[in-house]
Amino acid sequence: MTLKTMRNSVVLGVIAVLTIGTAQAQSGTVSVSIPFDYFAAGKMLPAGEYTVQSGIANGVLVLWNRERNASAMLSGSFVGSNKPHDARLIFNRYGASYFLSEIWASPGSSYGIRLRPSRAEREQIAQLRTTVGLTAHR
């Protein structure tokens, strides 16, 4: 297996970015349509329309889907950017599994929340690691 093939088969760097619609800055909530099932806060959440609420506590967000009665309370560390971003969610994809990685819930903000990888995500990463041995010749 060549390095190029391995790099193409490992999807650690693949990021799905969804732009969040309907921002309501006054209430600290934004709405987003997520077209795939995904993991967040260590649990599987179904595809659907979600509301992201920030401002509950420093670095804490709530994600919920009323139609499917699914929710997750998320916390993480702040990440910054040199320029303001649109509100968005960033996912890491490993094979057919998606893991919520970052939330930029405030439109026009230059900071977001990076979530700590869950046990399930760390297991996916470990499965994708491959050791490559090369033999040197004189």
101 contacts 114 by C-beta, under 8 angstroms: yes
Number of domains in the chain: 1
For all residues of the chain together, what is the average pLDDT?
77
More confident residue, 112 or 27: 112
26 domain-assigned? yes
Do the domain assignments include residue 11? no
In a domain, 6, yes or no: no
Give the HSE-up count for residue 30: Cα atoms under 13 Å, Cβ half-sphere: 22
pTM of the model: 0.72
Is residue 97 predicted with pLDDT exceeding 90? yes
Quote the pLDDT of residue 86: 81
Helices (H) and strands (E) in the chain, counts: 2, 11
- Residue 7: both structure tokens together: 């790099």
Mean pLDDT of 108-129: 86
Q: Per-residue pLDDT tens for 29-88?
A: 888 999 999 999 889 999 999 999 876 667 788 898 988 889 998 888 888 887 877 888
- Which residue segment(s) compose the domain that 109 sits in? 17-128
- Whether residue 9 is contained in a domain is answered as no
pLDDT at 26 over 70: no
12 occurs within a structural domain: no
At 15 the three-state DSSP class reads strand
CA distances from 31 to 21, 39, 56, 83, 132 (A): 6, 18, 16, 22, 44
* 137 belongs to a structural domain: no
